[in-house]
Amino acid sequence: AQKVTQAQTEISVVEKEDVTLDCVYETRDTTYYLFWYKQPPSGELVFLIRRNSFDEQNEISGRYSWNFQKSTSSFNFTITASQVVDSAVYFCALTGAGSYQLTFGKGTKLSVIP
Amino acid sequence: DVKVTQSSRYLVKRTGEKVFLECVQDMDHENMFWYRQDPGLGLRLIYFSYDVKMKEKGDIPEGYSVSREKKERFSLILESASTNQTSMYLCASSTPYLTGEGAQGDTQYFGPGTRLTVL
């Protein structure tokens, strides 16, 4: 069985602070894929990143960066210089090779205070 | 850009009514999904479809059925709505990253959601 744990239920930061959202996963698959999605107050889940288990390079996209560490089964997400528009619920998700199903974490609600 | 649309953003129905939630995607994706999202429970998969007229049960199919007559459209049906089906319903679609070993880690793209209230 697969499992994704996002231990932080809610985080509040002041604008321009850096913030890291934690994601820990469990899987028996040797090939698997990890995702992050953003859900703003409007409700739509927006895809942010997809990572396969063979690629442990960190990824940076603007103010967003992702740290994938297989040794600790973690796929953490950092927002640098946070902005009010970053306020949303962020979900980490996992799927195995050949599987149609995504296993989601419970999400972390991020509030960025001006 | 991938576009997934859902027929209604907000819907209010009465207990016992038959409810149809419609989802349309415009990217010729093979796979389509229905989830429900509840506070404290996260997203749970109700049904998915990997081809026209094909469907598979997800984690919580009880009380729901689905229909996929055309590739771009996936309908979720509540045969007799109940108050415990009050929820946010999210539709998604994906197309497989095909490798020599078959579909690998598809990215799912989501619609805006339908917030259903059953009174």
Kindly report, residue by residue over A53-105, the tens digit of the pLDDT. 988 888 888 999 999 999 999 999 999 999 999 999 999 999 987 777 899 99
Average pLDDT, integer, range B9-31 = 94
**Nearest alpha-carbon partner for A99 in B11, B45, B83, B52:** B45
Residue B88 has pLDDT above 70, yes or no: yes
Contact B113 A100 (CB under 8 A): no
Mean pLDDT over all residues of chain B?
A: 90
Q: How many residues does chain A have?
A: 114
CA distance A81 to chain B (A): 27
Kindly state whether B113 is in contact with chain A, defined as any CB-CB distance less than 8 angstroms. Answer: yes
Mean pLDDT over all residues of chain A?
A: 93
Angle at A104 between CA A98 and CA A109, to 5 degrees: 155
**Nearest alpha-carbon partner for B25 in B107, B115, B116, B118:** B107
Q: State the Cα–Cα distance between residues A40 and A25, nearest whole angstrom.
A: 23
Indicate the pairing of strand A10-14 with strand A108-113. parallel
Q: Are B111 and B23 in contact (CB under 8 A)?
A: yes
Kindly state whether B108 is in contact with chain A, defined as any CB-CB distance less than 8 angstroms. Answer: yes
Closest chain B residue to the Cα of A38, Cα to Cα: B110
pLDDT for B96-108, tens place per residue?
665 544 456 688 9
Kindly state whether B27 is in contact with chain A, defined as any CB-CB distance less than 8 angstroms. Answer: no
pLDDT of B98: 56
Percentage of residues in chain B having pLDDT higher than 90: 73
pLDDT of A96: 86
Q: What's CA B66's distance to the chain center, in Å?
A: 8
Q: Are B74 and B87 in contact (CB under 8 A)?
A: no
Q: DSSP string of B105-116?
A: -PPPEE---EEE
Indicate the pairing of strand B10-13 with strand B114-118. parallel
Residue B66 binned pLDDT confidence (cut-offs 50, 70, 90)? very high
Residue B94 has pLDDT above 70, yes or no: yes
